A = this chain, B = another copy of it.
Amino acid sequence: MSGEALEMIAARFKALSEPTRLKLIIALEAGEKNVTELMELVGTTQTNTSRHLQNLTDSGILARRKEGLNVFYFIADKSIFELCDHVCGSLERRFQSQQNAFRGE
């Protein structure tokens, strides 16, 4: 595994390492939405929403489509959901084994 490849993999993980960005991704699972809709769904400012959307777009996770005044964002890499599901499963197993350890093996 080359250093450059590692950097790209790390960058992909970094894009997903922020709760607001995860919220945006989840909000877009059902289909494309414009910035105002997304801003209301994730509960932050317009500027902040725009910044996070840019981050995710640069990372290749989202893509954008302009229509009049609106910019619609949508999922460009749908495999992202499998990734999130994978992490969820891993965390669930971790908590389960912690609970088992606490109850006495």
Which of A's residues lie within 8 Å of B, judged by CB?
Answer: 1, 3, 5-14, 16-19, 21-23, 26, 60, 77, 79-80, 82-84, 86-91, 93-94
The interface residues of chain B lying within 8 Å CB-to-CB of A17 are: 10-11, 13-14, 17
Contact between chains at B94 and A60 (CB < 8 Å):
yes
| A31 CA / B35 CA spacing, docked (Å) | 47
A–B pairs, 23, beta carbons within 8 Å? A1-B26, A5-B88, A7-B19, A8-B91, A9-B22, A9-B88, A9-B91, A10-B18, A10-B19, A10-B21, A10-B22, A12-B90, A12-B91, A13-B13, A13-B17, A14-B17, A17-B17, A77-B90, A79-B89, A79-B93, A80-B90, A83-B87, A86-B86
